[in-house]
Each structure stands twice: as structure tokens, then as C-alpha cells.
Structure 1
Amino acid sequence: MGGPALKRVGIRDVAEHAGVSIASVSNALNRPEQVSETLRQRVRASVDTLGYAPMPAARQLRQGRSGLIGMTVINIANPFFGALIAGAEDAASDAGMRVLAANSDDDAAQERDHLGLFESVQVEGALVAPFSDTHTPVSRLRGRGIPVVLVDAIDDAGELASASFDNVAGGRLAAEHLLATGRRRVLFLGERDELAQVRDRRAGAREALAAAGLDMPGERLARTDPASGLEFGARIAAADPADRPDAIICSNDHLAMGLVRALVDGGVRVPDDIAVVGYDDTQLAEVAAVPLTSVRQPAAEMGRRAVELLLARIRSPRAPRQTVVFAPRLTVRASTVG
């Protein structure tokens, strides 16, 4: 059996120890300019002796603030979204705020629940990397005076600020690279009509191939994770070499990792037999068994910029709605050039 629970030291304990009123302690901690230096030192000595830790969240709520930014992402298992959250947390911390991160896990209902949670805990603003049509819950947040910024997506209606990526240009860049290395039978792996980001990547790649007089078939997947890549890669490795593509563009690095693993295990040479391009250029791309060529999305920078846009809206609801779009860059590694 454990011992008795330790009693939390409160502001009343500090006041009794210092021999002053609770109001004096509150002023010394929160409005030090209103009290004497002697009182400040007296209260500080009691705080240090007792180990008192103020509760900023409670203080902020009394002031009508939560100090929280809500953030929902599509799938936190994907390293891209982990980096996106990390960038947002850095920027929020610099502003004295915290990020309440939520994982939709490729589930529209779960995404709606998270947005409802943000409303109930009174976040000061919300960052949404949308998995689905979030119009209704986002409208409800905005109706409560909670500003919203889209991340990794653009608001077609032009009502919301956003920090996103030029995915059409990114898809085009991947396809043009494969064409330059002599590939002609290119497959797009991980089509998902519910995700605008993936639709744009596919469209950009198809544009580049069409300009070269080539078609690009696509493979639709329910999830774009390593397990799906492993499953599809095993099928390709088992197929007749004459029926295989000579290059595959994956909708993200997460999927590409599983694909490359299965191809190599199945005796398919990457890139000699099949070249593979990923998307996001996560840290894992560089350290993979076959280092992965990938279209770089500056995830952490995007997260930081999104918070800056949101803070501007929190401070001034009339602030201009900005649309920030990051440009693509291709990082070329062994999965396409050997």
C-alpha cells in the first residue's frame, strides 16, 4: 500500500508562511509592481521554502483565457504530422501558450469530435489539418468567436487563413524527375479522393506525364501507411516483370517505406527495376534501407507559420486572412538514382 497523498501547496499556505494576506501574495506574484521590494522578497522566500507552483491555467481561465490552441491532424503516426505539431508547439510556447493536439486517425467522425472538444475546453484558437469536410464544426467554432486556421490545406471559400503546400507543383516535380531518369511506366500509389492534398499531388504528376504523352494509372488505398505499402509491394514483387511499373510515386513517405521494404524483400531492385518517390521528406526518408527520394514539405515551418497566423487572428479578429503557400523541393536519393 502507498503512503498518504502529498498535500498540494496552495496560495493560502504561502500567505500563512509569509505572515501576509492572500491578496498580498497574489499581488506579489502577479502584479509585483504594486507591492514593495520587501514584500516581494518575503513572498518569494516562502514560495521557495514551500515549493509552491502557481497554476497558470486556472489564472488564465479567471481572466477569460485558456492559454490553449487546439490542433487536429489527419494521422499522427505519419512523421510529417508529428513534425507539424512540433513546429506549432514551438511557436505557441514562444507566445506563452500550449497546443492541445488531437489525432483524427483517418476518421471524419473522430475529427468532428475533436473540434467539439476544442469548443468545450474553450481553446483560444484552432489549427485544423482537415481529413474531411469540416465546414459545420468549424463554423460552430467561429460562431463562438474561436478563430480557425487551416494547415496543409486551403479554404476554397476564402474565409479562413491557411498555411499549406503547393501539392500540384510537388506532384509535377516528382513525375518530371522520373521522366528525366528515363522512366515511362509510372504508377501513383495511394489515391484518396477524400484528401485534397493527395488529389493535388496526383493531378500534378498526371499533368507532367500527359505533357510527355504518357498516362499514369493509380492505385486507390483505404489507408496510406507502411502496412498498406508492404501489402502492395508484395503484390508487385510477385507479378510478371513485364506487367510491373518502372516507377512508383507514393502519396507519402510513410507508405513508401513499406513499399520499398516489400520490393527489396521480394527480389525487386530499387531503383534498377522500379524507382520509388515518396512525399514529405521526413527524417525516416534519409535513413531508410534504400534512402528515399522525396518531395519535401517543410512541416515544422508550416506548423510555426500556422500558429503565427492564428495568433494574429486571436489578437485582432479583424486581421487580414492570409494564405501562405510553401513551394516544393525534391530531395534526390538512392531510390531513384541508385
Structure 2
Amino acid sequence: MSEKVLMKGNEAIGEAAVIAGCRHYFGYPITPQSELIEYMAKRLPQVNGVFLQAESEIAAINMVYGAAGAGARVMTSSSSPGVSLKQEGISYIAAGELPCVIVNIMRGGPGLGGIQPGQADYFQATKGGGHGDYHCIVVAPNSVQEMAELTVSAFNLADQYRNPVMILGDGALGQMMEPVSFEDLRLIPVDKPWATMGIGDRVSPNRINTLYLKPETLEQVNNALQAKYAMLQEREVRWEETSTDDAELVLVAYGISSRIAYSAMEMARENGYKVGLFRPITLWPFPKAALAKAVSNAADVLTVELSAGQMVEDVNLAIRCSKPVHFLGRTGGMMMSPQDIYERIVEIFKANKGGK
């Protein structure tokens, strides 16, 4: 039986990053992810790593660019407004095909908003966020254990595909404490002959560039990126589904919302309503084919988010509007309860039976 320790989600990400070989962290404090930067400030010097609190989020993401270009395993973290400031740098990192991990512990918005949990950064994370045609790989944990596991996976995926990976958490997951095991977490070493320094007997330096003045050359770069993204959509889609085989209604939720939706699903099942749950783990690439299959026998779909409705668009696209997709959301840092979701489930079932 593996040993478990009680940790906050933010702290679990930090320890998992160290296990994954991260030795460079650049960031700037912002609630509700401040425990992560505090953890890295303490932990990295213990493993001969480099921690630097940058003067701004913009500075931090450009430091990530430099460390990643030199071949280091590097991470930054922030929360919603801070991640917005990083977007130009993330576009540069994606264009340079530099592996790194970016953590967003989302809070309510827009603007400075509040410090309570939110999920309204979905569009920003999955649709690019910055300028140009690029994608981050986006993973969404729903427990402290998964925050650790997906952090290691994020570093491995970043190196394997030379692509930024974003861990999209939320304030509830970052702050909650749960038992977590680090025993089975393993990094996958990757050679980096493309890095700018420190590689064997090379006599000529590598150059990492994102400026291409000839449009023909820039189009070739874009075509290569799109080919990589197509490969990711084939190989790296992850999801979890529960009780979807006989479900007449399938809930779709990620992150903390999926925990609440699971409780609502159990309530519904106990009261005779055939309800299932589909949880995307990769938000990009989105598990479109898996979702379409999971809801194929259902009459309705209910998407649950802490936003005004963002992932619901990808749900509609995945099933090609073949059946009704309902939406239940809270905003501003407010969270729905299992009872809220259960009541919406009952409404949908009653509407399908003519209100009986």
C-alpha cells in the first residue's frame, strides 16, 4: 500500500513537478495559487533548482521561454488575470516549439474578479488565448491526486511533443486538502538535441526563432504545427465516463464541477433517473469522438460549468447538435450544489415526459 500525505492541490502540483524533473520555476504571486509559488520557493533550492519571483507575469513567461529553449524542464503558474498577461509569451513558446508547463488555478472574473473558484478561462486555454494558430495541450484534474499525476504527465507530454502544456485547475482544487500518493509518478527522460546549449560535441549553435519574414516560410512553419496538433488529437485524448451505457441523460463536466456532478448523478440514480457522467480530462484535444459515442443512446445532455457557458460549445460541436444540450452554470466564484444539478435533471426528465 502506497504512503499518502495530506496536501493542498497547489502543493501537490509543486512536489509532482520536482519529481518530474522540474528544476526551474519563474512566477509571480496571485491568489488562489500562491501556495504553489511558495512551495517552489522552498523546495527547489533543496534539489539544486532555480526559483525566481519575477517582477511581473510578463517577465516570468519570457524567462520560461529562455529556460525551455536551453533544454530545462521549467514551469510557471498563475491565476486568471495573470495568465492573461502571459498570453503573448505563450504564443511565442508554442511557435518556438518549446516544452514547458503552465498552471492556471482559475478564479472568478472578468477583470480582477474575485479569489473564489471559476472555470471561465476555458476559451482562453483551449482556443489559443494569444495570437496566431497555435494550441496548448490542456489537462484538467478533478482531485489533488490527479493534480499530482497530471503534472508529471504534463512535463512528459511537453517534452514528447515540444509543446506547452497547461494544467487548468480552479480555486477549489488548488485550496482543498486530500491524501495524495507520489509513489508511482515517474518522469520520462527525453533527449533535446534541438536545445540552444549544452548538447555534446556540437560546433554550431542551435537557434530558436519565431520571426519569419517570408510568408512561404511562415506557412511551412504553420503547416508543421498543424500536423503536430492533428497527431495530438489522434493520440493524446483522455476522458472518464461513468454509467453512460444506459443513461437517458449524460452530464458533461470537468474539474471541480465534475465532482459536484458525480454526486448529483448518484442522487439521480438513487431516485430512478438513468443519468451518466462524461468527464473530459484533456480539454484540448477535446474528446469529441468519445463524447459522441457516450451520449449516442441518451436523449439529452447537460453541461455543467462554473462559467456563463464555454465548454458547452465544444459539447455541441462534438455531438453535432444531434440532441438537446442543456446548460447549468454559476459565475463570479459561486458554485452550484449537487441539489442544484439534481433539480435540473428532474426538470429535463419531466419535460421529456410532458411534465408528468
Higher helix share: 1
Question: Which of structures 1 and 2 has the bigger CA Rg?
Answer: 1
**TM-score, with normalisation over the residues of structure 2?**
0.28
Question: TM-score normalised to the size of structure 1?
Answer: 0.30
